[in-house]
């Protein structure tokens, strides 16, 4: 259960080797989270590095295999995590791939890989986690979506459409879990400076893994169920989603 200050004591991060996952683990450790399960691809060097860092902060860390690209394995993976860890206060969906838009347009298989990781895996894993949390009667789910899914752009429409589906799924899950003791928070960061975006040109209102992590920690004890990072993106997209398509198409990529 959460402590007296609302801090989760047991946490599962799916995609535990990501930069945002590592930043979140650091901030949770500072709030005295005791146990963190980091799930990621088998043999992932980034997962092991994240676990080593977390242990240095005094957190009891476990790592477990989780392959977002293999939906058939997800329910079994979640069952194993719960069997090993017991009830969990917080589950964070931090996995995802950006993909290469040009490659996806040339190769439908590459597009399917992006859709599988960014959307299908969120659905299969999200339903398995929701089932477990509904049974335990408490907890929080945090889903890392993206502003790219709020209105899909030509420049990355495969990734953006997958994130749009993922975002919609977790919005629906919010309603499905109402009155169960489980809350769902959808986080919509803008461009985040991470390994995944390395080499890409800088974007307006860009943010950092630490800023995203801080927004998640704040949301855990607040009323918001949809969080924009940075917050200035909320009014920006309130306007942008209503731009005529002929104007939207001509915006800089």
* Extended beta strands in the chain, E state: 10-14, 35-40, 60-65, 90-93, 139-144, 182-189, 226-229
Q: Are the CB atoms for 166 and 119 separated by under 8 Å?
A: yes
The sheet that has 60-65: what strands, in order across it? 60-65, 35-40, 10-14, 90-93, 139-144, 182-189, 226-229
Residue 159 falls in the annotated catalytic set: yes
Q: Are the CB atoms for 145 and 169 separated by under 8 Å?
A: no
What angle do the packed helices 19-30 and 209-220 form, to 10 degrees? 50
Q: Label residue 181 left, alpha or beta by phi (over 0 means left) and psi (-120 to 50 means alpha).
A: left
The residues facing 101 across adjacent strands are: none
Which residue out of 95, 159, 169, 191 is catalytically annotated? Answer: 159
> Which residues belong to the active site?
159
């Amino acid at each position: 259960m959460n402590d007296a200050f609302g801090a989760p004591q047991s946490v599962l991060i799916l995609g535990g080797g990501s930069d945002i996952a590592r930043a979140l683990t650091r901030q949770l450790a500072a709030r005295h989270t005791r146990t963190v399960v980091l799930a990621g691809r088998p043999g992932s060097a980034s997962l092991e590095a994240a676990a080593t860092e977390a242990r240095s902060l005094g957190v009891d860390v476990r790592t477990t295999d989780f392959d977002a690209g293999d939906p058939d394995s997800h329910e079994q993976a979640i069952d194993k995590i719960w069997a090993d860890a017991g009830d969990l206060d917080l589950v964070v969906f931090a996995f995802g791939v950006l993909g290469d838009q040009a490659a996806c347009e040339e190769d439908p298989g590459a597009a399917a890989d992006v859709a599988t990781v960014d959307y299908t895996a969120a659905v299969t894993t999200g339903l398995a986690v929701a089932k477990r949390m509904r049974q335990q009667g408490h907890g929080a789910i945090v889903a890392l979506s993206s502003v790219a899914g709020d209105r899909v752009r030509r420049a990355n429409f495969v990734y953006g459409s997958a994130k749009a589906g993922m975002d919609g799924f977790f919005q629906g899950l919010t309603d499905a879990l109402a009155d169960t003791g489980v809350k769902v928070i959808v986080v919509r960061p803008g461009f985040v400076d991470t390994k995944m975006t390395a080499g890409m040109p800088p974007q307006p209102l860009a943010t950092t893994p630490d800023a995203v992590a801080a927004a998640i920690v704040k949301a855990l004890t607040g009323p918001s169920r949809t969080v924009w990072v940075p917050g200035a993106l909320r009014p920006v997209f309130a306007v942008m989603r209503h731009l005529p398509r002929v104007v939207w198409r001509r915006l800089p990529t």
